[in-house]
Amino acid sequence: MTSAIREGHSQHHQQQRLTIRDLQLPNNDINKLKSFFGINKEDEKLMAGLQNFAAKSSAGLIEKFYKHILGEPETQKYFTDPRILERARQAQILLFEQMTSGKYDADYLENRLLVGSTHNRINLPPKWYIGSFAYYLDALGSEMADTFKEDKLALSNFKTFVKMVLLDMAMVMEAFVIERERQLMEGQRILQAQRTEVDQLARILQGVTAQISAVATELSSSTAQSTAAISETTATAEEVKQTADQTSVKAKSVSEDSKAVVLVSRQGQEATDATIKGMLRIREQMESIAECMVQLSNQSKLIGDIIASVDDLAQQSNLLAVNASIEAAKAGEQGKGFAVVAQEVKNLSQQSKSATAHVRSILNDIVKATTAATMATEQCGKAVEVGHKQASEAGKVIETLSESIDKASQATELIEVSSQQQLVGMKQMVEALESIRLSSQQNLESANQLDSAGKELAALGAKLIEMTSRN
């Protein structure tokens, strides 16, 4: 609902009750109105004299009246609610009281105007209202004829009653007409406001549709570009996904190789540890051999000393044998046995001397060999020491390398997991880009539809402006 319509409805609901001024009487003089209907002071007295008649007859007349009303579908629909029907009955009773009060001032007339406003509000057509009063007058005439048949004023009373009924009907109809004129004027005002507003809306619509058309064109262009860009991006993402897939396979292979390298490095570390322990054992054995060689050298020296002593003894024995031979020769025949003994001793000393010389030679060879073995043992010990030191350093390097390989293996495992996650993410991104591409195509179609709709709205706006300018 537009602002003009809302304003019109608001003013309609805020309208005040009709007053005497709305009748547009000269100087608001109601006496002239009553005079026009032929109602004078005598009539007012006659009506006041009918109060007892009204009190006795009103209930029966009202009952007949509403029985007639409720018997007709056209009027029955206005009294479907029992509460409304009861209020209407009470209003009729009050009307009889007011009509026979003999007092017909501004309040009386304004109450009748209120009835007409109510009829207009519930949209009760005048034909049913007037027809109902025709039935009312017929029933009232019969009731008054029966009540006042012997009274000379019976006719005067009925004529006066008819005047009052006609005045009542005139006020109700006047109010109905005034309210309808107000509604008509309000409707014209609202229509004019609507026409103005429609014209403004049509012009705004033309501006908006022009903007919509421009935006739709731009949107269509940008959407087409976006669709192309997204297609390229999707293709690139697909390539990246394939690369990520290959990377994931390679990362898995590297991870497996890293695990194998870790195993080899651990085996190498164990072998290095075993080598270091073997070198330690060799060093200990070499030290033991060196000690044995030193002892052997010392014993060889002792043997040399003994051989020297034996050689001296052999020389001395040889000298003694020579001396004994000489002495045996001097003794002649008596010294022959002693000479034989001396010769044997000499032979033995010669053999001892030869043997000691041979032993000395062998001992010298042993000493030389022992010295050479000792030197070799010392060199071997030094080599073993160097080997042990190098093996220890190699062990440390291998241990450091093993730790690095462990870290590298852990890193490759993380890389493998990350590659898998990256692969999953790339698959999701490709799916999302495909969804965006489809949405972009739909947006392109929507933009084209929006452009068409904008053109149709522009044509509609031009048609509305033409229609409002025509009227």
Q: Each residue of 306-321: pLDDT tens digit?
A: 877 877 877 787 777 7
Of the chain, the percentage scoring pLDDT greater than 90 comes to 2
Higher pLDDT, 157 or 276: 157
Kindly report the pTM of this predicted structure. Answer: 0.43
pLDDT, mean of residues 194-223: 74
3-state SS, the chain, equals: CCHHHHHHHHHHHCCCCCCHHHHCCHHHCHHHHHHHCCCCHHHHHHHHCCHHHHHHHHHHHHHHHHHHHHCCHHHHHHHCCHHHHHHHHHHHHHHHHHHCCCCCCHHHHHHHHHHHHHHHHCCCCHHHHHHHHHHHHHHHHHHHHHHCCCCCCHHHHHHHHHHHHHHHHHHHHHHHHHHHHHHHHHHHHHHHHHHHHHHHHHHHHHHHHHHHHHHHHHHHHHHHHHHHHHHHHHHHHHHHHHHHHHHHHHHHHHHHHHHHHHHHHHHHHHHHHHHHHHHHHHHHHHHHHHHHHHHHHHHHHHHHHHHHHHHHHHHHHHHHHHHHHHHHHHHHHHHHHHHHHHHHHHHHHHHHHHHHHHHHHHHHHHHHHHHHHHHHHHHHHHHHHHHHHHHHHHHHHHHHHHHHHHHHHHHHHHHHHHHHHHHHHHHHHHHHHHHHHHHHHHHHHHHHHHHHHHHHHHHHHHHHHHHHHHC
* Res 164 pLDDT > 80: yes
Higher pLDDT, 446 or 42: 42
Closest CA to 355 of 314, 402, 297, 301: 314
* Res 148 pLDDT > 50: yes
pLDDT, mean of residues 186-214: 79
Cβ atoms of residues 114 and 94 within 8 Å: no
Query: Could you give the angle at which helices 154-331 and 41-48 cross, rounded to 10 degrees?
Result: 70
Distance CA 95, CA 61 (A): 12
Q: How confident is the model at residue 42 (pLDDT cuts 50, 70, 90)?
A: very high
* Res 367 pLDDT > 60: yes
Q: How confident is the model at residue 216 (pLDDT cuts 50, 70, 90)?
A: low
Task: Return the pLDDT at 251.
Answer: 64
Task: Return the pLDDT at 10.
Answer: 46
In angstroms and rounded to an integer, the radius of gyration of the C-alpha atoms of the chain is: 73
What are the tens digits of pLDDT across the range 388-428? Answer: 777 777 777 777 877 777 776 777 777 777 767 767 776 78
Give ∠ CA 278-281-287 in degrees, rounded to 5.
140
Both tokens of 447, joined, read: 């933009």
* Domains located in the chain, CATH noted: 3-211 (1.10.490.10), 231-438 (1.10.287.950)
* Res 226 pLDDT > 80: no
Higher pLDDT, 164 or 279: 164
* Res 6 pLDDT > 50: no
* Res 83 pLDDT > 90: yes
Distance CA 268, CA 391 (A): 12
Higher pLDDT, 366 or 87: 87
Task: Return the pLDDT at 128.
Answer: 83
Distance CA 312, CA 410 (A): 82
Cβ atoms of residues 120 and 184 within 8 Å: no
In this structure, which long-range contacts are made by residues 206-211, counting pairs with CB atoms below 8 Å and at least 24 apart in sequence?
206/458, 206/461, 206/462, 206/465, 208/457, 209/454, 209/455, 209/457, 209/458, 209/461, 210/454, 210/458
* Res 4 pLDDT > 70: no
* Res 118 pLDDT > 70: yes
What are the tens digits of pLDDT across the range 251-260? Answer: 677 667 767 7
* Res 376 pLDDT > 60: yes
pLDDT, mean of residues 456-462: 77
Higher pLDDT, 115 or 212: 115
Q: How confident is the model at residue 41 (pLDDT cuts 50, 70, 90)?
A: very high
Q: How confident is the model at residue 244 (pLDDT cuts 50, 70, 90)?
A: low
Task: Return the pLDDT at 15.
Answer: 57
* Res 471 pLDDT > 70: no
Torsion over CA: 30, 35, 36, 38 (sign): positive
Distance CA 454, CA 209 (A): 5
* Res 437 pLDDT > 90: no
